[in-house]
Structure 1
Amino acid sequence: MDLFLSAAFGFPTVLFTPMLIVVLGYWIFVIVGAADTEMLDSVDTGGDAAGLSAVLSKAGLGRVPVTVALTMLICVAWFVSMMGSIVTSLIETVSTPMLWALGAVVLLIALVAAWAVTSGVVMGFQRFLPKRRGDSKHELVGRTCLIRIGEAHEDFGQAEITTAGGAAISIPVRTTGGEVLSVGSTALIFDHDAADDHFLVTAFDPALDPGQH
């Protein structure tokens, strides 16, 4: 037990131990229904991955929710660094620089192993995973949004909409026929102007939204 605790809270495993505790706590919340597996996923106004989603996509891990990818990365990194720390602790040396050097090597191996194992698992199971993508501009047509930053009219308008992944994004909107929508009002997106890259909206009664019932 002493060896386990020494390795878990020693360098480099100590870098991952707090993360592992957070991960375990997060999945407990998911199991009891207090958290969502896609809570860290985000997209930009064009429907492309943003933030952590974009980073993981570039690393080849974009086919699974961010929380799943991070969980796998942290768990593998913790396990590899734990095993590496136990092995290096058996080496008879009292040289502190040597211990730090060995720890740095173990850390590097743990990071590489975490990415390799996680990407391998994602690639191996991607045929069974549904295609994950953010809301495209065309898919936003027919959805409702909230007018933000002043009034929306034929020349200016900014609205907020929540994507299927739960991310709130800001989109440019315009009205037609001289209609003016006040800030905070609900609007219906009925078209997308590809030439000027904005959405056309009109007033909408929130009571008519089936998602509110």
Structure 2
Amino acid sequence: MGLFLSTAFGFPTALFTPLLIATALYWVFVVIGAAETELLDGVDADGEATGLSALMSRAGLLGNAERSSARGRGAERSGRAPVTVSLTLMVCVAWFVSMMGGIMTSLLETTSTPLLLALGSVVLVIALVAAWAVTSGLVTAVARFLPGGRGDSKHDLVGRTCVIRIGEATGDFGRAGITTGSGAEISVDVRTTGGEVLPPGSTALIFEHDQDRDVFLVTGFDAALDPGRD
């Protein structure tokens, strides 16, 4: 137990131990329903990854490679692993590799601080490379079996409802939230026509995408008039 604790809280494993504890607590919250698995995922109006999602996607850590569609000319994206899942894999692999490296280093029974730091730095690099390689390989393999598709293009959002979020929606300004087909909520620029003003919190219907201004044109929507409403 002493060797385990000294290695877990020694260099370089100590860099990953707090992350491992935080990750474990996060998944406890997920299990009890207090957090979501897509907490850190971000997408834009086209369904493309943004922020941390985009960074990890470019690093090959989300497995969202494109594959040719047999029924169309375009490319169809395979499923994208949640950012939290990829980060969890990376933390676990990095912690395990650094832990094993730290234990092997301790067997040298040296007291030279410079040597221990040098060996710890080597273990740290190996742990980071291993974490990237294992995570990239696993999510790429698993993501092929996750539901994918083309995502939500701006044209696909026409005909959907949205909720005015920031201030009033007018002919000059408006921001609204809309849930994409993947279940993520995104924020889009909206405008009204004919002098219509929509208050914050109201539901609006997107009826057109203005390509010149890159905004969505909306109008007030009454859920009671929805033909698909039970």
Q: Which category of TM-score, normalised to the shorter sequence, fits these structures?
A: 0.7 to 0.9
Percent of matched pairs sharing the same residue: 70
Q: Does 1:85 align with 2:102?
A: yes
CA contact (8 A) 1:171 1:198 kept: yes
Q: Which has the higher helix share?
A: 1
Q: Comparing 82-91 with 160-169, which one deviates more in the overlay?
A: 160-169
Instruction: State the AA in 2 paired with 1:117.
Output: V
SS where residue 139 of structure 1 aligns? Answer: coil
Cα distance in 1, alignment partners of residues 149 and 24 from structure 2: 25
CA contact (8 A) 1:38 1:165 kept: no
Match of 2:208 in 1: 191
Residue 183 to residue 127, structure 1, CA distance change in 2 (3 Å): closer
Instruction: State the AA in 2 paired with 1:182.
Output: P
Alignment of 1:140-179 (within 5 A): 140-163=157-180, 168-179=185-196
Match of 1:100 in 2: 117
Q: Comparing 170-179 with 148-157, which one deviates more in the overlay?
A: 148-157
* Coordinate RMSD, CA, aligned: 2.5
Alignment of 1:1-213 (within 5 A): 1-62=1-62, 63-131=80-148, 135-163=152-180, 168-205=185-222
Cα distance in 1, alignment partners of residues 143 and 178 from structure 2: 29
Shift, 1:156, TM fit: 3.2
SS where residue 108 of structure 2 aligns? Answer: coil
Instruction: State the AA in 2 paired with 1:94.
Output: T
SS where residue 136 of structure 1 aligns? Answer: coil
Cα deviations by residue, 1:119-154 (Å, 9 ceiling, x for unpaired)? 111222232122277543233223332334443233
Residue 98 to residue 48, structure 1, CA distance change in 2 (3 Å): same
Which portions of structure 1, spanning 4 or more consecutive aligned residues, are displaced by more than 4 angstroms?
Answer: 162-168, 206-210
Shift, 1:171, TM fit: 1.5
Cα distance in 1, alignment partners of residues 82 and 6 from structure 2: 33
SS where residue 18 of structure 1 aligns? Answer: helix
Shift, 1:155, TM fit: 3.6
> TM-score with structure 1 length normalisation?
0.87
Residue 169 to residue 125, structure 1, CA distance change in 2 (3 Å): closer
Cα deviations by residue, 1:146-168 (Å, 9 ceiling, x for unpaired)? 33444323343332334456655
Cα distance in 1, alignment partners of residues 24 and 150 from structure 2: 27
CA contact (8 A) 1:76 1:113 kept: yes
Q: Is there any run of 5+ residues in structure 1 with no aligned partner, and where? A: none
SS where residue 156 of structure 2 aligns? Answer: helix
Shift, 1:15, TM fit: 0.7
Instruction: State the AA in 2 paired with 1:139.
Output: D
CA contact (8 A) 1:48 1:133 kept: no
Shift, 1:106, TM fit: 0.4
Q: Is there any run of 5+ residues in structure 2 with no aligned partner, and where? A: 63-79
